[in-house]
Amino acid sequence: MKHLVIYSSETGNTKKVAEAIYKVMPDETDLCNVGEVSSFDKYDFIAFGCWIDRGTADKKALVAIENIKNKKVAVFATLGAYPDSQHAVDSMERIKKLFIDNENSIVGEFICQGKVDPRLTEKFKSLPADHPHAMNEERIKRHKIAAMHPNDEDFANAQRKFKELFEK
């Protein structure tokens, strides 16, 4: 059985989580960026990582998901929102559904916060107050907290979850 840890990451957050997960995977595991894999045939288990873009997987991840069929998949993701928010739950459910619709089985999941690109934060700050993404005190606080993630605790939590999958 050959395993794959594959990730899509624009600013490095999801890549760091992928690298942490890779460290606890069995010997027969490859670590790749989404652009590097064209065929998933040789893999049985895929740990799939992406960042949340407008409530679902980012565009590069969406393209890769289309090519993954009949695999055991564990999804991991990073996002700006809190990991226990409804937005995080809904985003993860959307991604899992994409895999399930492609005849894959979901065997695990992990989500944590990731630093939001400061350019996006600045853009939000310039929006009028009545815009749905306008920055308010709560959002400024959330972006500040996101800026501290992923951290060592997130890496340890991700590793624990993925280790458990192979101890079953």
Ligand X SMILES: Cc1cc2nc3c(=O)[nH]c(=O)nc-3n(C[C@H](O)[C@H](O)[C@H](O)COP(=O)(O)O)c2cc1C
What residues line the site for ligand X (CB under 6 A)? 9-15, 51-55, 78-81, 87, 114-117, 120
Q: CB 44 → ligand X: shortest distance, Å?
A: 25
Q: CB 16 → ligand X: shortest distance, Å?
A: 8
Closest CB to ligand X among residues 74, 81: 81
Closest CB to ligand X among residues 74, 79: 79
Position closest to ligand X via CB: 114
Q: Please answer whether residues 46 and 66 qualify as being in contact, where contact means their C-beta atoms are separated by less than 8 angstroms.
A: no
First to last CA, the chain: 16
Closest CB to ligand X among residues 19, 72: 19
H-type helices in 5-151, by residue range? 13-23, 59-66, 86-101, 118-125, 137-146
Closest CB to ligand X among residues 27, 152: 152
Q: CB 127 → ligand X: shortest distance, Å?
A: 14
At 33, which amino acid appears? N
Q: CB 148 → ligand X: shortest distance, Å?
A: 12
Q: Please answer whether residues 47 and 3 qualify as being in contact, where contact means their C-beta atoms are separated by less than 8 angstroms.
A: yes
H-type helices in 24-168, by residue range? 59-66, 86-101, 118-125, 137-146, 152-167
